[in-house]
Amino acid sequence: MKKKEKMVLNAIKKAGNPVRPGDIAKTTGIDSKEVSKIISELKKEGKISSPKRCYYEPT
């Protein structure tokens, strides 16, 4: 797992509730477009899920 992937996953876990990519970008300092790409990867790997549109939480 890459450093940025870990940062995004940790930010999602720390939030404690479903979060939007924009919020993750603010928390981590990673560009929001890059956050969206990382989220897609994490979702494919089954590490996060989307309880509702545009919100993400750890699985």
The domain that contains 34 carries what CATH number? 1.10.10.10
pTM over 0.75: yes
Q: What is the pLDDT of residue 1?
A: 77
Q: How far apart are CA 19 and CA 28, in angstroms?
A: 13
Structural domain boundaries enclosing 39 = 3-58
Asked whether the beta carbons of 45 and 9 are under 8 A apart, the reply is no
**pLDDT tens, 19-42?**
999 999 999 999 999 999 999 999
Number of domains into which the chain is organized: 1
Q: How far apart are CA 39 and CA 43, in angstroms?
A: 6
